[in-house]
Amino acid sequence: MTDTAPTATPPTTQVTLADGRVEIAPGAPAPSGPYANDDLLPVPVARRTWTTYNFSALWVGMAHNTASWTLASGLIAVGMDWKQAVLTIALANVIVLIPMLLTGHAGPKYGIPFPVFARASFGIRGANLPAVVRALVACGWFGIQTWIGGEAIYFLAGKLIGTGWTDASKVGGHAWTMWLSFAIFWALQVVIIYRGMETIRRFENWAAPFVLVGAFVMLWWMSDKAGGFGPLFDQPSKLGWGADFWTLFAPALMGMIGFWSTLSLNIPDFTRYGRSQKAQTRGQALGLPTTMTLFAFLSVMVTSGSQAVYGEAVWDPVQLAAKTDNTVGLLFALVTVLVATLSVNVAANLVSPAFDFSNIAPRRISFRAGALATCVLGVLIFPWKLYSDPQGYIFTWLGLVGGLLGTVAGILIADYWILRRSRLDLADLYRPGGRYWYEGGWNWRAVVAFAAGGVLAVGGANFKPLIDGRPVPALADLADYGWAVGLGTSMVLYLLLMAPRARAARRAG
């Protein structure tokens, strides 16, 4: 079977419940073979139990993290004032919520993870392309977040043990105790992910409010140091509201969207546990834009205060917390950083690539093996270099990520919502020779759309300091809008390439 349109009657191997959720029909055999394993199979309806609160807490836990903090504080560091930074981040999160909800729909309906969802458009084998791209991005994020968590342990231990810890001899530009702290935090995350998804859900539920309280404590501390809230609001923009700001605004907006463009793809990894579509829709709508904007506001206020107190914007919260002389305050701040970093890193940067790597060879790579691969690759990308400069971090790394992943999102949305009208055949998602097999397991049309969208989105970008390469001059103007260019280009091109196939399927009935 090679049709792309849904069949007139639902397949006998699956049933649709009154609330729209779909599962394998009772008595029908579960999908098996080389493209299935226990981690990739649909979650049974009875186990789809996450509520609106669970999804909201997930987002609160992920949004209230150190990397989110540095996004906002980094905008202050490159010249924006608090109003410009909050505006940029709030708009970005409203925009990225849209593809998040569209791709998340397949989770509670079919109970499938992202790499299986991608099989419908890229082919059963071809889905490894977007899955690996997404997984490698997650490896980069995992490394960055682990470095941040290691920093918190480093300063925390230094406060408890004494200066001998922080003044240790250096290896590779950092104290050997910093490398040890990095390794400890790395190992802690491996332990949590090995406990499974239910442990992650419980951890997110209590971590979310704890981190928010910690952010308010930092705001109170900085306002006290600055002599009130006035100096926090009074720090001027170095850009104004003219051409200098708007030139920076576009790539900054795309960078902020790029921050969550990862989750806009693999959100089915979480929504597959959802009790209903309402639970995932309301939970995400309540959890993402509101909490991210609030956290951005707290971040820019504290960073503006650091500019007033110390004469420069201290954008790294770990470095900022280390400046306090109050031992209790320092310990609380660093513990907050640890919890925040664990919260987002395990949920956002280990769950997805674990499924993605498992999809490459389901019979050989389990969820846990995929998570371990992520942990190893997260070290090999040298996260301490990515995190060292806010300019490269926000505009180079996030711009590149957003451009590539926006391209994948365009294809997924076009296929699931426009071509298939949200109807999938669960059995065929795992079966060679079925409707999602295309040509040898690959849908070349999706690959072409991905390549074209990716070139236009990031071909004109300056990749320094990640790699030493020259951008394509003719594409330079598009690079500032990488995520939007990638999404729009791939969506339109994919629909054009798939149109003849879709017409043939409709004629075949």
Q: What is the pLDDT of residue 174?
A: 86
Q: What is the pLDDT of residue 398?
A: 64
What gap in Å lies between CA 484 and CA 494, rounded to an integer? 15
Confidence of residue 396 (pLDDT cuts 50, 70, 90): low
Confidence of residue 1 (pLDDT cuts 50, 70, 90): very low
Q: What is the pLDDT of residue 346?
A: 74
**Distances in whole angstroms, Cα of residue 394 to Cα of each of 175, 263, 327, 362, 472:** 26, 17, 32, 35, 20
What gap in Å lies between CA 312 and CA 305, rounded to an integer? 9
* pLDDT single digits (tens) 469-484: 556 666 767 777 888 8
Query: 83-87, 261-265, 333-337, 402-406 — which is least confidently predicted?
Result: 333-337
Q: Which of 128-132, 300-304, 311-315 has the highest mean pLDDT?
A: 128-132
Q: What is the pLDDT of residue 6?
A: 42
pLDDT of 200 above 60: no
pLDDT of 273 above 60: yes
User: Which of 49, 50, 350, 376 has the alpha carbon at shortest distance from 192?
Assistant: 350
135 vs 447, residue with greater confidence: 447
Tabulate helix, strand, coil % of the chain (nearest 5): 70, 5, 30
What gap in Å lies between CA 243 and CA 228, rounded to an integer? 32
Report, as an integer, the average pLDDT of 200-216. 65
What gap in Å lies between CA 274 and CA 127, rounded to an integer? 23
Confidence of residue 51 (pLDDT cuts 50, 70, 90): very high
Query: 59-68, 201-210, 422-431, 441-450 — which is least confidently predicted?
Result: 201-210
CA torsion 261-128-420-418 (nearest 10°) is: 40
Question: Across all residues in the chain, what is the average pLDDT?
Answer: 81
Query: 269-283, 403-417, 446-460, 463-477 — which is least confidently predicted?
Result: 463-477
Confidence of residue 281 (pLDDT cuts 50, 70, 90): very high
302 residue type, one letter:
V
What gap in Å lies between CA 139 and CA 454, rounded to an integer? 20
In degrees, to the nearest 5, what angle opens at C-alpha 142 toward C-alphas 61 and 171?
125
**Distances in whole angstroms, Cα of residue 202 to Cα of each of 43, 193, 282, 368, 402:** 19, 12, 19, 19, 30
Residue 313 token pair: 């914007």
Q: If 0-12 CB within 10 Å is exposed, 13-18 middle and 19+ buried, where does residue 474 land?
A: exposed
Q: What is the pLDDT of residue 65?
A: 67
Confidence of residue 8 (pLDDT cuts 50, 70, 90): very low
Q: What is the pLDDT of residue 441?
A: 95
User: Which of 456, 373, 359 has the alpha carbon at shortest distance from 407?
Assistant: 456
Q: What is the pLDDT of residue 4?
A: 46
Report, as an integer, the average pLDDT of 300-304. 77
Query: 10-24, 313-327, 352-366 — which is least confidently predicted?
Result: 313-327
Q: Count of H helices and E strands in the chain?
A: 24, 4
Please compute Rg for the chain using Cα positions: 23
* pLDDT single digits (tens) 226-237: 777 666 666 666
Report, as an integer, the average pLDDT of 303-329. 73
Report, as an integer, the average pLDDT of 262-278. 90
Confidence of residue 302 (pLDDT cuts 50, 70, 90): confident
Residue with tokens 């490698």: 136
Instruction: Give the rounded percent of residues in the chain with a pLDDT score beyond 70.
Output: 83
pLDDT of 77 above 60: yes
59 within 8 A of 284, measured Cβ to Cβ: yes
What gap in Å lies between CA 140 and CA 67, rounded to an integer? 12
Identify the CATH number of the domain defined by range 14-508.
Answer: 1.10.4160.10
SS3 174: strand
pLDDT of 438 above 90: yes
SS3 303: helix
Residue 78 token pair: 């490159």
What gap in Å lies between CA 121 and CA 436, rounded to an integer? 7
134 within 8 A of 350, measured Cβ to Cβ: no
Q: What is the pLDDT of residue 466?
A: 46
500 upstream amide cis, omega within 30 of 0: no
Domain boundaries, the chain: 14-508
* pLDDT single digits (tens) 147-174: 888 887 888 788 778 777 878 888 888 8
User: With helix as H, strand as E and coil as C, how does 330-344 read?
Assistant: HHHHHHHHHHHHHHH
User: Which of 401, 346, 360, 281 has the alpha carbon at shortest distance from 116?
Assistant: 360
In degrees, to the nearest 5, what angle opens at C-alpha 146 toward C-alphas 408 and 159?
155
pLDDT of 3 above 70: no
Report, as an integer, the average pLDDT of 414-442. 94
What's the length of the chain? 509
* pLDDT single digits (tens) 325-341: 677 777 777 777 777 77
Query: 58-72, 192-206, 324-338 — which is least confidently predicted?
Result: 192-206
202 within 8 A of 208, measured Cβ to Cβ: no
